[in-house]
Structure 1
Amino acid sequence: MSNIVIILASGTGTRFLSKTPKQFIKLAGKRVIEHTLDCFEQHTLIDEILVVTSESHKLLVEEIVLQNAYKKVRRILIGGETRQASTAAGIAAIVGDIHKVLVHDAVRPLLDHATIDRCLKALDTAECIDTVIHPADTIVEASFKNTISRIPDRSMLRLGQTPQGFRSGLLRQAHDLAKKDSTLKVTDDCGIVMYYDLAPVALVEGNVSNIKITHPSDIYLADRLFQLRTTATNLVDLNHLKNKVIVVLGASRGIGLSCSKIARQYGAVVIDASRQSGVDICDRASINRLFSETVQKYGHIDFIVNTAGVLRTGTLMTQTDDLINEQLDINLKGSILVAQEGFKYLKESGGSIALFTSSSYTRGRAFSAVYSATKAAVVNLTQGLAQEFHPYKVRINAINPERTATPMRTENFGNEPLETLLDAEIVARSTLATLLRSISGEVVDVRR
């Protein structure tokens, strides 16, 4: 018995109003379908993945699979004009009737491992399951006269998601019957099972974040959900840093200093860089010299951490040209130069960059408007570069710590109660863990 996933990716995106089908639109540094494939590829209980797509996009899917070196994608199949035909193509490629089969929409990229766990566990005792969530709004039934004919009891209603799950024999039987029935009108595979009364459909708790990309506005919502999603950096084993070559900019104090100390504790080769060591983050030649000398000495660079930043508080009217330019140059231009100059070396190692943003990127704050603007720009820079770097297997993320006990904060806000501030070492550990993760284009929130 195997745990097999059928990913439906043959939609044309009619409602999305785009020439590019929504499963191939870029989202948080990757195509939508790549996020979906990543989720199943990285799940330890999934044995095999089948992708069903259109004939016109088969080559693109093949390219995506090869580019990401997905090991669990065993077949790329041509689907049909309907969801039913595409699922039928998937189940026809599965040999045997006792496998657990999950059918999932490629355009639900925010699926989480916990939901997959619940689906697989439910299939231990049920032959058919549907992933659902409770509706947040009242649902009304409309009449042909466009009036409310009935208001069902919301406590008994659910909103369907995917994956839907089946024993392979049951799903095969359902589609064998459906092929012979021209009058069948259902919208998903559980509907076929119910129509022919083949088995009870058990319900599995889903996740409200597991949205389906249907309309253009959904891309913006999904992007925000990726930013806000809790990332499991605490589960990453920092022992994997051993012998990795890490360049830390802004290493003389604060979070940068903590990154350097902790990385060394785990056996990394750390190159400290700051103004004190003669590295000017605003000067391209200075940065390139740092990186090239590192490669000459150690052969390569695995990771780059840029913690260098400056905050000059005060109303906009008190910000001189020098203060404005200093923040723009160090916070934004410095990040751009680090990413630009670092890329040529990281693409050789398939490495990762960690830039730094601030919680003020979501909403500018009085007395730090210029600083907030630079940190919002760093997020957009990260997301854009994640897409550019993805074909070269270079990852880039923005670390977003809450208020942290650093010298820069003390200089601007004075002595605050330490219990209200995040320890710099916690941020450093999360930063180093992010370097080791496969994510890219994400804002990694670090909280107490």
Structure 2
Amino acid sequence: MRKAYAVILASGAGARFCNHIPKQFIKVAGKTIVEHTIDVFERNERIDEIILVVNSLYKNFMDEIILKNNYRKVSRVLNGGSSRRESSSIGVNAIEEPNAKVLVHDAVRPFVSRQLINDCIKALDTFDAVDVAIPSADTIIKINDNALIDKIPARKHMMRGQTPQAFNLPVIKKAHLLAENDRQTEFTDDCGLVLKYKLADVYVVQGEERNLKITYPEDIFMADKLFQLKSIEPSDDISLTMLQNKVLVVFGASRGIGKSIVDLARSYGARVHGFSRSNDVNIASLANVETALAAVYQKENRIDYIVNTAGVLKMGKLEARQLDDILNEIQINYIGSIHTIKAGIKYLKESNGSIALFTSSSYTRGRALYSIYSSTKAAIVNLVQATAEELTVDGIRINAINPERTATPMRRENFGHEPEDSLLNADRVAQVSLQTLLSDLRGQVIDVRKNS
């Protein structure tokens, strides 16, 4: 199988951004924009190597970013050129494997999805050049030098280009070779080179509205909101055999998803300790959590993973609910996760361990009659995103699992009978939760869907 390379262009000076540092190095949601972008390609199972092309003034900074994140696929960091085309040429020509597939991507498009990358790679089995674009929602006008409308093209033929752009290596290398001697044309992307020199047809893969390019300062506000709502799909590439002899602590272990996690982990040889109110451990009590973890550590002399699935779901208008009942729901659904983190840090530092907390699809928008539940699940996401960076220095990973409607006792108690085939199986949630614990992911919301 041919290798697939990602060339990430991060050499721009950010002139339109009007900031003292290039926009790719602005921090959003705890990381620089370029880190978010590299993360997507680093995690993609079909990308073999990543080549970074950077502004020479920031090469040392980029080296620090690579070391901090322990990127395994970054094989080269190259100084960029004086133009986008020159920087792209530098990245493309660094690839020596003659039949490689290469994706060229802007560092300031951090929301590119795994599916979009895979669609581009697959299209290269049929086409030599691939672009990514989305239909234009606006009418496009062409003006003349006097700012008068010259033409209004039919909107159905107009699309907005994105990246990555993908090529079979010989084609894009030839395009850049021809462009080196062409001083009459200004090129803004690599597909334009292929079209200019009639080297191949360019196939268009359907892009995504979320694949935002951060160009202007106001885009940072939009990006911050998108990162807040961002989730990723689970990967089935991680084998649960890695759980053998690992020590796992599960809070909320007596039923539902928690019990499924306990049973599945034990079947793969993990040493699992489950706690819930059925054995007198209340997640709302920091003392209870500390005592439980201390007992496990005393017995096992290590703790590798901690999961908190404990939660309650209460229905009712805020006005009608008793304050004690509201505070109890907050204590269990939110404060309990804080207790899990605070009590678990000292043990997980020793093992470079991982924490999994649980959110819900209602975190993206509050639901009437479930205002406390929805808001606590939104708080879990913010807690995970914020503490992920804090815990990185201790070698600890933390993520939030976001299952869709799941067949659990709590759901049946609150919603009654529902068609079984409309609900996610708790065993599937357990599988993804354990794979997340074993992964290198941190600060992510992991979607679990029936069709994933």
What is the TM-score with the length of structure 1 in the denominator? 0.86
Task: Kindly provide the amino acid, as one letter, of the partner of residue 212 in structure 2.
Answer: I
Counterpart Cα distance in 1 of 2:118 and 2:341: 37
CA deviations over 1:241-260 (Å, ceiling 9, x no partner)? 33222110111223222221
Question: C-alpha distance in 2, partners of 1:14/1:279?
Answer: 56
The 1:127–1:319 alpha-carbon spacing in structure 2 relative to 1, beyond 3 Å, is: closer
Q: Which residue number in structure 1 is paired with residue 246 of structure 2?
A: 244
How many residues were matched structurally?
A: 444
Structure 2 counterpart SS, 1:164: strand
Partner of 1:219: 223
Shift of the alpha carbon at 1:170?
4.6
Query: 1:124 and 1:430, CA in 2 relative to 1: closer, same or farther beyond 3 A?
Result: closer
Deviation at 1:387, TM superposition (A): 2.6
Question: Which residue matches 1:428?
Answer: 430
Q: Which residue of 2 aligns with 1:186?
A: 187
Partner in structure 1 of residue 334 of structure 2: 332
What amino acid does structure 2 have at the position aligned with 1:287?
A: V
Amino acid aligned to 1:133 = I
Q: What residue is the counterpart of 1:11 in the other structure? A: 12
Q: 2: CA distance between counterparts of 1:346 and 1:302?
A: 6
Aligned equivalent of 1:207: 207
Counterparts in 2 of 1:322 and 1:437: CA distance versus 1, 3 Å: same
Q: Is the 8 A contact 1:29 1:385 kept in 2?
A: no
Q: Cα–Cα, structure 1 residues 300 and 125, in superposed 2: closer, same or farther, change >3 Å?
A: same
Contact 1:401–1:427 (Cα < 8 Å) also in 2: yes
For the structure 1 residues 331 and 115, does the alpha-carbon distance in structure 2 shift closer, same or farther, using more than 3 Å as the test?
Answer: closer
Distance (whole Å) between structure 1 residues aligned to residue 174 and residue 321 of structure 2: 71
1:303 is displaced (CA, Å) by 1.6
Match of 1:317 in 2: 319
Q: 2:308 aligns with which of 285, 306, 314?
A: 306
Q: 1:415 and 1:5 mapped to 2: Cα distance?
A: 49
Range with greater deviation from structure 2 (197-206 or 270-279): 197-206
* Match runs of 1:352-431 below 5 Å: 352-411=354-413, 413=414, 415-417=416-418, 419=420, 421-431=423-433
**1:249-268 equivalences in 2 (<5 Å):** 249-268=251-270
2:234–2:447: 8 Å Cα contact kept in structure 1?
no
Structure 2 vs 1, CA of residues 375 and 164 (structure 1 numbering), >3 Å: closer, same or farther?
Answer: closer
Letter in 1 for 2:285: D
1:304–1:202 Cα change, 3 Å: same
Q: Does the 8 Å CA contact 2:361/2:403 hold for their aligned counterparts?
A: yes
- Of stretches 347-356 and 125-134 in structure 1, the one that deviates more from structure 2 is 125-134
Residue type of the alignment partner of 1:338: T
Deviation at 1:442, TM superposition (A): 2.7
Q: Separation in 2 of the partners of 1:259 and 1:142?
A: 61
The alpha-carbon deviation at position 369 of structure 1 amounts to 1.9
Q: Compared with structure 1, are the counterparts of its residues 92 and 225 closer, same or farther at alpha carbon in structure 2 (3 Å cutoff)?
A: same
**Residue 147 of structure 1, CA deviation:** 5.1
What is the RMSD of the two structures over their aligned residues, measured on CA atoms? 3.1
User: Which region of structure 1 is more displaced relative to structure 2, 392-401 or 139-148?
Assistant: 139-148
Question: Which sits farther off after the overlay, 46-55 or 217-226?
Answer: 217-226
TM-score (norm 2): 0.85
Question: Could you tell me which of 436, 440, 443 is aligned with 1:441?
Answer: 443
Conserved 8 A contact 2:29-2:224: no
> The residue matched to 1:107 in structure 2 has which SS?
coil
Residue identity opposite 1:141 in structure 2: K
Question: Does structure 1 retain, via aligned residues, the 8 Å contact 2:141–2:151?
Answer: yes
Offset, 1:161: 1.9
TM-fit CA distance, 1:115: 3.7
1:70 maps to which residue?
A: 71
Report deviation, 1:339. 1.5
Partner of 2:40: 39
Structure-2 separation of matches of 1:446 and 1:125? 32
CA contact (8 A) 2:359 2:381 kept: yes
Structure 1 residue identity aligned to 2:50: I
- Shift in CA distance, 325/124, structure 1 to aligned 2, threshold 3 Å: closer
Q: Who is 1:344 aligned against?
A: 346
Q: Matched residues in 2 for 1:4 and 1:302: separation?
A: 34
Task: Name the CA shift for 1:351/1:19 in 2 (closer, same or farther; >3 Å).
Answer: farther
- Structure 2 CA distance for aligned equivalents of residues 16 and 28 of structure 1: 18
Structure 1 residues 387 and 148: alpha-carbon distance in aligned structure 2, compared to 1, 3 A threshold: farther
Q: In structure 2, do the counterparts of structure 1 residues 329 and 46 end up closer, same or farther at CA, with 3 Å as the change threshold?
A: closer
Listed one character per residue, the Cα deviations across residues 355-411 of structure 1 (whole Å, up to 9, x for unaligned) are 122333222233332232222211111111223233444322222333444443455
Query: Counterparts of 2:193 and 2:406 in 1: how far apart (Å)?
Result: 54
**For 2:294 and 2:22, how far apart are their aligned partners in 1?**
42
Unaligned runs of 5+ in 2: none
Equivalent position SS for 1:213: coil
Give the conservation status (yes or no) of the 8 Å contact 1:28–1:442: no
Q: Is the 8 A contact 2:130 2:205 kept in 1?
A: no
For residue 395 of structure 1, what is the amino acid of its counterpart?
Answer: R
The 5-angstrom pairing of residues 81-120 of structure 1 reads 81-95=82-96, 98-120=99-121
- Alignment-mate amino acid for residue 317 of structure 1: E
Q: For the structure 1 residues 392 and 19, does the alpha-carbon distance in structure 2 shift closer, same or farther, using more than 3 Å as the test?
A: farther
CA distance in 1, matches of 2:367, 2:222: 28
Q: Note if contact 2:191-2:202 (Cα within 8 Å) is conserved in structure 1.
A: no
Give 1:268 deviation, angstroms: 1.6
Q: CA deviation at 1:8?
A: 0.5
* Larger mean Cα displacement after TM superposition, 38-47 or 304-313: 38-47
Output one character per residue of 1:58-111: Cα deviation in whole Å (capped at 9) or x when no partner.
122212222333233221111134212322332453447654332211222333
Does the aligned pair in 2 maintain the 1:282–1:330 contact within 8 Å? Answer: yes
Deviation of residue 10 (structure 1)? 1.7
Please identify, of 38-47 and 249-258, the stretch whose mean Cα deviation from structure 2 is larger.
38-47
Identity over the aligned pairs, expressed in percent?
47
Matches within 5 A, 1:43-54: 43-54=44-55
Which stretch of structure 1 is more off in the superposition, 290-299 or 257-266? 290-299
The Cα offsets for residues 39-73 of structure 1, whole Å up to 9 and x where unpaired, read as 33344544432111112321222122223332332
Contact 1:246 / 1:302 at 8 angstroms: preserved in 2?
yes
